[in-house]
Amino acid sequence: MFDFNIISHASQLWSCTIASLRRGTYKNSCFRSHRFLSSGKKVEKQPYETENIISAEAAIVKDCKIPLEARKVEAKPRLQTVRVYRWNPEKPNVKPYMQQFSVDLNKCGTMVLDVLALIKAEHDPTLSYRKSCREGICGSCSMNINGVNTLACITKVKQSSKPIVVYPLPHSYVIRDLVTDMEQFLKQYQTIEPFLKRTGEDNFLGLRQILQSPKDREKLNGLYECILCGCCTFACPPYWWLGDKFLGPATLLQAYRWIIDSRDMGHKERLSKLRDFYSVYRCHTIFNCTKTCPKGLNPGKAIAQIKRLLAGLTKKERPDMETPLPNPCHGEEEYPCREE
Ligand code: SF4
Ligand code: SF4
Ligand code: FES
Protein backbone atom coordinates (compact mmCIF):
# COMPACT_ATOMS: atom_id res chain seq x y z
CA MET A 1 0.00 0.00 0.00
CA PHE A 2 2.85 2.37 0.78
CA ASP A 3 5.06 1.48 -2.16
CA PHE A 4 4.17 4.63 -4.05
CA ASN A 5 6.81 5.66 -6.49
CA ILE A 6 7.49 9.11 -5.13
CA ILE A 7 9.34 11.68 -7.17
CA SER A 8 10.68 14.28 -4.83
CA HIS A 9 13.12 14.09 -1.96
CA ALA A 10 10.52 15.39 0.46
CA SER A 11 8.21 12.66 -0.67
CA GLN A 12 10.85 10.04 0.01
CA LEU A 13 11.10 11.32 3.55
CA TRP A 14 7.38 10.88 4.11
CA SER A 15 7.22 7.43 2.50
CA CYS A 16 10.16 6.22 4.55
CA THR A 17 8.48 7.24 7.73
CA ILE A 18 5.16 5.71 6.83
CA ALA A 19 6.77 2.44 5.78
CA SER A 20 8.94 2.25 8.86
CA LEU A 21 6.01 3.04 11.13
CA ARG A 22 4.05 0.21 9.56
CA ARG A 23 7.01 -2.14 10.06
CA GLY A 24 7.34 -0.98 13.62
CA THR A 25 10.84 0.33 13.01
CA TYR A 26 10.09 4.02 12.96
CA LYS A 27 12.60 6.35 14.52
CA ASN A 28 12.25 10.10 14.56
CA SER A 29 15.97 10.30 14.00
CA CYS A 30 15.28 8.65 10.63
CA PHE A 31 14.07 12.00 9.32
CA ARG A 32 16.72 14.03 11.01
CA SER A 33 19.67 12.08 9.72
CA HIS A 34 18.12 11.13 6.36
CA ARG A 35 19.21 7.56 6.99
CA PHE A 36 16.48 5.21 5.92
CA LEU A 37 15.86 1.56 6.41
CA SER A 38 15.95 -0.14 3.03
CA SER A 39 12.60 -1.63 2.11
CA GLY A 40 14.12 -4.92 0.96
CA LYS A 41 15.98 -5.53 4.20
CA LYS A 42 14.28 -7.59 6.84
CA VAL A 43 14.48 -5.72 10.08
CA GLU A 44 13.86 -7.35 13.42
CA LYS A 45 10.76 -5.88 14.99
CA GLN A 46 11.89 -3.34 17.54
CA PRO A 47 8.89 -1.15 18.29
CA TYR A 48 11.05 1.38 20.09
CA GLU A 49 14.76 1.61 20.44
CA THR A 50 14.01 3.56 23.55
CA GLU A 51 17.55 4.28 24.65
CA ASN A 52 18.61 5.63 21.25
CA ILE A 53 15.48 7.70 20.95
CA ILE A 54 15.87 9.23 24.38
CA SER A 55 19.54 9.97 23.85
CA ALA A 56 18.76 11.62 20.48
CA GLU A 57 16.07 13.79 22.03
CA ALA A 58 18.25 14.52 25.06
CA ALA A 59 20.97 15.71 22.68
CA ILE A 60 18.49 18.08 21.09
CA VAL A 61 17.40 19.39 24.46
CA LYS A 62 21.04 19.89 25.41
CA ASP A 63 21.70 21.57 22.09
CA CYS A 64 18.88 24.06 22.56
CA LYS A 65 19.43 27.74 22.06
CA ILE A 66 19.26 28.94 25.68
CA PRO A 67 22.89 29.11 26.89
CA LEU A 68 23.77 26.77 29.74
CA GLU A 69 24.67 29.66 32.06
CA ALA A 70 21.27 31.24 31.49
CA ARG A 71 19.61 27.97 32.39
CA LYS A 72 21.60 27.75 35.64
CA VAL A 73 20.72 31.34 36.57
CA GLU A 74 17.03 30.72 36.08
CA ALA A 75 16.64 28.70 39.24
CA LYS A 76 12.88 29.06 39.33
CA PRO A 77 11.24 26.61 36.91
CA ARG A 78 9.03 28.16 34.24
CA LEU A 79 6.32 25.55 34.14
CA GLN A 80 4.03 25.30 31.15
CA THR A 81 1.16 22.90 30.63
CA VAL A 82 1.19 21.10 27.28
CA ARG A 83 -1.66 18.90 26.08
CA VAL A 84 -0.79 16.46 23.32
CA TYR A 85 -2.99 14.18 21.21
CA ARG A 86 -2.09 10.55 21.72
CA TRP A 87 -3.10 7.44 19.82
CA ASN A 88 -1.25 4.17 19.60
CA PRO A 89 -2.23 1.73 16.80
CA GLU A 90 -0.74 -1.10 18.85
CA LYS A 91 -3.47 -0.54 21.45
CA PRO A 92 -6.62 -0.45 19.30
CA ASN A 93 -8.89 -0.69 22.35
CA VAL A 94 -7.58 2.57 23.78
CA LYS A 95 -9.33 5.50 22.15
CA PRO A 96 -7.38 8.63 21.22
CA TYR A 97 -6.94 10.94 24.21
CA MET A 98 -5.19 14.14 25.24
CA GLN A 99 -2.20 13.66 27.52
CA GLN A 100 -1.15 16.53 29.75
CA PHE A 101 2.46 17.33 30.61
CA SER A 102 3.95 20.02 32.79
CA VAL A 103 7.28 21.04 31.25
CA ASP A 104 9.96 23.39 32.51
CA LEU A 105 10.64 25.86 29.70
CA ASN A 106 14.09 26.58 31.16
CA LYS A 107 15.16 23.12 30.07
CA CYS A 108 14.44 23.44 26.36
CA GLY A 109 14.66 25.75 23.38
CA THR A 110 12.15 28.37 22.41
CA MET A 111 10.04 26.49 19.86
CA VAL A 112 7.18 24.02 20.24
CA LEU A 113 9.35 21.33 18.62
CA ASP A 114 11.88 21.80 21.44
CA VAL A 115 9.09 21.31 23.97
CA LEU A 116 8.06 18.07 22.23
CA ALA A 117 11.70 16.93 22.28
CA LEU A 118 11.83 17.65 26.01
CA ILE A 119 8.64 15.66 26.59
CA LYS A 120 10.10 12.76 24.65
CA ALA A 121 13.44 12.93 26.44
CA GLU A 122 12.21 13.43 29.98
CA HIS A 123 8.52 12.56 30.24
CA ASP A 124 7.38 9.99 27.69
CA PRO A 125 9.72 8.39 25.11
CA THR A 126 6.77 6.85 23.25
CA LEU A 127 5.55 10.23 21.93
CA SER A 128 5.78 10.17 18.12
CA TYR A 129 6.11 13.12 15.77
CA ARG A 130 8.04 13.94 12.62
CA LYS A 131 10.92 16.33 12.35
CA SER A 132 14.09 16.81 10.33
CA CYS A 133 15.59 20.23 9.67
CA ARG A 134 14.34 22.12 12.76
CA GLU A 135 14.35 25.36 10.75
CA GLY A 136 11.21 25.41 8.62
CA ILE A 137 12.76 23.89 5.50
CA CYS A 138 11.72 20.24 5.29
CA GLY A 139 8.01 20.54 6.14
CA SER A 140 7.93 17.37 8.24
CA CYS A 141 6.86 18.87 11.59
CA SER A 142 3.50 20.24 10.42
CA MET A 143 0.82 19.89 13.09
CA ASN A 144 -2.04 21.81 14.65
CA ILE A 145 -0.82 24.01 17.51
CA ASN A 146 -3.39 25.96 19.49
CA GLY A 147 -5.88 25.58 16.66
CA VAL A 148 -3.55 26.65 13.83
CA ASN A 149 -1.88 24.38 11.29
CA THR A 150 1.78 25.30 11.38
CA LEU A 151 5.35 24.06 11.72
CA ALA A 152 6.35 23.15 15.28
CA CYS A 153 9.98 24.07 14.67
CA ILE A 154 9.26 27.73 13.89
CA THR A 155 6.40 28.27 16.36
CA LYS A 156 7.59 30.10 19.45
CA VAL A 157 6.44 29.04 22.88
CA LYS A 158 5.06 31.78 25.08
CA GLN A 159 4.71 30.98 28.75
CA SER A 160 1.07 31.30 29.60
CA SER A 161 -1.51 30.09 32.09
CA LYS A 162 -3.32 28.53 29.13
CA PRO A 163 -2.05 25.13 27.97
CA ILE A 164 -0.35 24.63 24.61
CA VAL A 165 -2.64 22.23 22.76
CA VAL A 166 -1.06 20.08 20.06
CA TYR A 167 -3.06 17.95 17.61
CA PRO A 168 -2.09 16.24 14.35
CA LEU A 169 -3.16 17.99 11.13
CA PRO A 170 -6.98 18.09 11.13
CA HIS A 171 -9.01 15.79 8.89
CA SER A 172 -5.99 13.60 8.19
CA TYR A 173 -5.60 9.90 8.96
CA VAL A 174 -3.42 9.47 12.01
CA ILE A 175 -0.74 6.81 11.95
CA ARG A 176 0.39 7.42 15.50
CA ASP A 177 0.20 10.38 17.89
CA LEU A 178 1.17 13.44 15.81
CA VAL A 179 2.25 11.45 12.74
CA THR A 180 -0.27 11.71 9.91
CA ASP A 181 -0.69 9.72 6.71
CA MET A 182 0.42 11.91 3.79
CA GLU A 183 -0.02 9.22 1.13
CA GLN A 184 -2.96 10.81 -0.67
CA PHE A 185 -1.40 14.28 -0.45
CA LEU A 186 1.83 13.06 -2.04
CA LYS A 187 0.07 10.99 -4.70
CA GLN A 188 -1.82 14.11 -5.73
CA TYR A 189 1.45 16.01 -5.89
CA GLN A 190 2.79 13.27 -8.15
CA THR A 191 -0.13 13.73 -10.58
CA ILE A 192 0.90 17.29 -11.46
CA GLU A 193 4.28 16.03 -12.72
CA PRO A 194 6.45 18.43 -10.74
CA PHE A 195 9.37 18.69 -13.16
CA LEU A 196 10.28 20.62 -16.30
CA LYS A 197 8.73 19.31 -19.47
CA ARG A 198 10.70 20.06 -22.63
CA THR A 199 8.96 18.25 -25.45
CA GLY A 200 11.31 16.67 -27.94
CA GLU A 201 14.44 17.56 -26.00
CA ASP A 202 15.04 14.27 -24.24
CA ASN A 203 18.18 13.61 -26.30
CA PHE A 204 19.70 16.93 -25.26
CA LEU A 205 19.29 16.63 -21.51
CA GLY A 206 22.36 17.89 -19.70
CA LEU A 207 23.98 19.30 -22.86
CA ARG A 208 23.24 22.97 -22.15
CA GLN A 209 21.70 25.33 -19.65
CA ILE A 210 18.05 26.16 -20.03
CA LEU A 211 17.98 29.94 -20.06
CA GLN A 212 15.61 32.17 -18.08
CA SER A 213 15.56 35.95 -17.82
CA PRO A 214 15.51 37.58 -14.35
CA LYS A 215 12.01 38.87 -15.16
CA ASP A 216 10.74 35.36 -15.90
CA ARG A 217 12.51 34.02 -12.83
CA GLU A 218 10.70 36.56 -10.66
CA LYS A 219 7.38 34.99 -11.60
CA LEU A 220 8.35 31.95 -9.51
CA ASN A 221 8.77 33.98 -6.33
CA GLY A 222 6.12 33.12 -3.78
CA LEU A 223 5.72 29.68 -5.37
CA TYR A 224 9.04 27.85 -5.34
CA GLU A 225 9.36 28.38 -1.58
CA CYS A 226 6.57 25.87 -0.85
CA ILE A 227 7.95 23.05 1.30
CA LEU A 228 4.94 20.74 0.93
CA CYS A 229 4.19 20.73 4.63
CA GLY A 230 0.46 20.27 3.97
CA CYS A 231 -0.66 22.90 6.52
CA CYS A 232 -2.76 24.69 3.88
CA THR A 233 -4.28 21.55 2.38
CA PHE A 234 -5.44 20.24 5.75
CA ALA A 235 -6.92 23.65 6.62
CA CYS A 236 -9.07 23.73 3.48
CA PRO A 237 -12.74 22.80 4.05
CA PRO A 238 -13.40 21.56 0.47
CA TYR A 239 -10.34 19.31 0.82
CA TRP A 240 -11.77 17.85 4.03
CA TRP A 241 -14.91 16.75 2.20
CA LEU A 242 -13.57 16.01 -1.31
CA GLY A 243 -9.89 15.31 -0.69
CA ASP A 244 -9.88 12.35 -3.08
CA LYS A 245 -10.94 14.53 -6.05
CA PHE A 246 -10.01 18.13 -5.26
CA LEU A 247 -6.24 18.55 -5.44
CA GLY A 248 -6.02 21.00 -2.55
CA PRO A 249 -4.08 24.26 -2.23
CA ALA A 250 -0.53 22.91 -1.87
CA THR A 251 -0.70 20.72 -4.98
CA LEU A 252 -2.40 23.48 -6.98
CA LEU A 253 0.18 26.06 -5.93
CA GLN A 254 2.84 23.65 -7.15
CA ALA A 255 0.88 23.03 -10.37
CA TYR A 256 0.80 26.80 -11.03
CA ARG A 257 4.53 27.01 -10.28
CA TRP A 258 5.25 24.60 -13.19
CA ILE A 259 2.59 26.06 -15.49
CA ILE A 260 4.05 29.57 -15.43
CA ASP A 261 7.72 28.58 -15.46
CA SER A 262 9.07 30.13 -18.69
CA ARG A 263 11.29 27.08 -19.26
CA ASP A 264 8.40 24.63 -19.14
CA MET A 265 6.76 23.68 -22.45
CA GLY A 266 3.94 21.55 -21.10
CA HIS A 267 1.56 24.19 -19.79
CA LYS A 268 -1.26 23.36 -22.23
CA GLU A 269 -1.16 19.71 -21.27
CA ARG A 270 -0.95 20.61 -17.57
CA LEU A 271 -3.97 22.91 -17.82
CA SER A 272 -6.05 20.38 -19.73
CA LYS A 273 -5.44 17.83 -16.97
CA LEU A 274 -6.85 20.29 -14.43
CA ARG A 275 -9.90 21.14 -16.51
CA ASP A 276 -12.60 19.11 -14.76
CA PHE A 277 -15.33 19.58 -12.18
CA TYR A 278 -13.24 18.77 -9.09
CA SER A 279 -9.47 19.26 -9.43
CA VAL A 280 -9.49 23.07 -9.22
CA TYR A 281 -13.06 24.33 -9.12
CA ARG A 282 -13.91 22.95 -5.65
CA CYS A 283 -11.88 25.87 -4.30
CA HIS A 284 -14.34 28.48 -3.06
CA THR A 285 -11.72 31.14 -2.39
CA ILE A 286 -12.13 31.05 1.39
CA PHE A 287 -8.38 31.68 1.82
CA ASN A 288 -7.94 29.49 4.93
CA CYS A 289 -4.90 28.15 3.08
CA THR A 290 -3.27 31.55 2.71
CA LYS A 291 -4.03 32.45 6.32
CA THR A 292 -2.36 29.34 7.72
CA CYS A 293 0.71 28.93 5.45
CA PRO A 294 3.74 29.06 7.77
CA LYS A 295 5.94 30.21 4.87
CA GLY A 296 3.71 33.21 4.13
CA LEU A 297 2.72 31.97 0.66
CA ASN A 298 -0.59 32.56 -1.08
CA PRO A 299 -2.00 29.31 -2.49
CA GLY A 300 -5.46 30.90 -2.82
CA LYS A 301 -4.07 33.44 -5.29
CA ALA A 302 -2.24 30.73 -7.25
CA ILE A 303 -5.52 28.80 -7.59
CA ALA A 304 -7.29 31.98 -8.76
CA GLN A 305 -4.58 32.41 -11.44
CA ILE A 306 -5.08 28.82 -12.61
CA LYS A 307 -8.80 29.49 -12.90
CA ARG A 308 -8.08 32.58 -15.03
CA LEU A 309 -5.79 30.54 -17.31
CA LEU A 310 -8.42 27.80 -17.60
CA ALA A 311 -11.10 30.36 -18.45
CA GLY A 312 -8.87 31.97 -21.08
CA LEU A 313 -8.86 35.33 -19.27
CA THR A 314 -5.06 35.30 -19.22
CA LYS A 315 -2.44 33.48 -21.26
CA LYS A 316 1.02 32.28 -20.39
CA GLU A 317 3.50 34.85 -21.70
CA ARG A 318 6.18 33.90 -24.16
CA PRO A 319 9.56 33.40 -22.48
CA ASP A 320 12.01 36.30 -22.73
CA MET A 321 14.86 33.95 -23.61
CA GLU A 322 14.90 30.88 -25.84
CA THR A 323 17.35 28.09 -25.24
CA PRO A 324 19.19 26.93 -28.36
CA LEU A 325 19.36 23.23 -29.10
CA PRO A 326 22.70 21.84 -30.26
CA ASN A 327 22.46 20.38 -33.74
CA PRO A 328 24.21 16.99 -33.61
CA CYS A 329 24.75 16.94 -37.44
CA HIS A 330 26.21 20.40 -38.13
CA GLY A 331 27.32 21.54 -34.71
CA GLU A 332 25.16 24.64 -35.17
CA GLU A 333 22.62 25.86 -32.72
CA GLU A 334 18.95 25.79 -33.54
CA TYR A 335 16.11 27.68 -31.95
CA PRO A 336 13.06 25.46 -31.80
CA CYS A 337 9.81 27.23 -32.57
CA ARG A 338 7.78 27.28 -29.36
CA GLU A 339 4.06 27.15 -29.53
CA GLU A 340 2.47 29.43 -26.92
S1 SF4 B 1 1.72 26.51 0.44
FE2 SF4 B 1 2.52 26.89 2.50
S3 SF4 B 1 1.22 25.66 3.86
FE4 SF4 B 1 0.89 24.92 1.80
S5 SF4 B 1 2.30 23.18 1.62
FE6 SF4 B 1 3.35 25.00 0.79
S7 SF4 B 1 4.50 25.83 2.50
FE8 SF4 B 1 3.01 24.41 3.38
S1 SF4 C 1 -8.96 29.38 -0.96
FE2 SF4 C 1 -9.56 27.46 -1.91
S3 SF4 C 1 -7.87 26.09 -1.53
FE4 SF4 C 1 -7.64 27.81 -0.08
S5 SF4 C 1 -8.68 27.11 1.77
FE6 SF4 C 1 -10.15 28.20 0.56
S7 SF4 C 1 -11.20 26.64 -0.65
FE8 SF4 C 1 -9.31 25.74 0.12
S1 FES D 1 11.53 20.13 11.24
FE2 FES D 1 11.73 20.73 9.17
S3 FES D 1 10.11 22.12 8.90
FE4 FES D 1 10.03 21.66 11.01
Fold of 79-180: Ubiquitin-like (UB roll) (3.10.20)
> Which one of the ligands is nearest to 241 CA?
2
Q: Spell out the long-range contacts of 50-59 with Cβ–Cβ below 8 A and sequence spacing 24 or more.
A: 50/125, 52/27, 53/27, 53/28, 53/29, 53/120, 53/125, 54/120, 54/121, 54/125, 56/27, 56/28, 56/29, 56/32, 57/28, 57/117, 57/118, 57/120, 57/121, 57/125, 58/121, 58/122
According to DSSP, the β-strands at 79-86 and 164-167 are parallel
pLDDT computed for residue 209 by the predictor? 84
Pocket test for ligand 2, best of 289, 292, 293 (most atoms within 8 A of CB): 289
Whether the pTM exceeds 0.85: the reply is no
> Residue 177's closest CA among 127, 229, 102, 117?
127
**Closest CA to ligand 2's atom 8:** 236
Our answer on whether the CB atom of 136 is closer than 6 Å to any ligand 3 atom is yes
- Numbers of helices and strands, H then E, in the chain: 12, 9
Please tell me if the CB atom of residue 232 comes closer than 6 angstroms to any atom of ligand 1.
yes
Domain 183-311 is found in CATH 3.40.50.300: no
Query: pLDDT by residue (tens digit) across 203-243?
Result: 777 777 899 999 999 999 999 999 999 999 999 999 999 99
**Predicted pLDDT at 327:** 64
pLDDT at 161: 94
Q: Would the pLDDT of 325 be above 80?
A: no
Give tens-digit pLDDT for 156-210.
999 899 999 999 999 999 999 999 999 999 999 999 999 999 887 877 777 778 9
Domain ranges of the chain: 79-180, 183-311
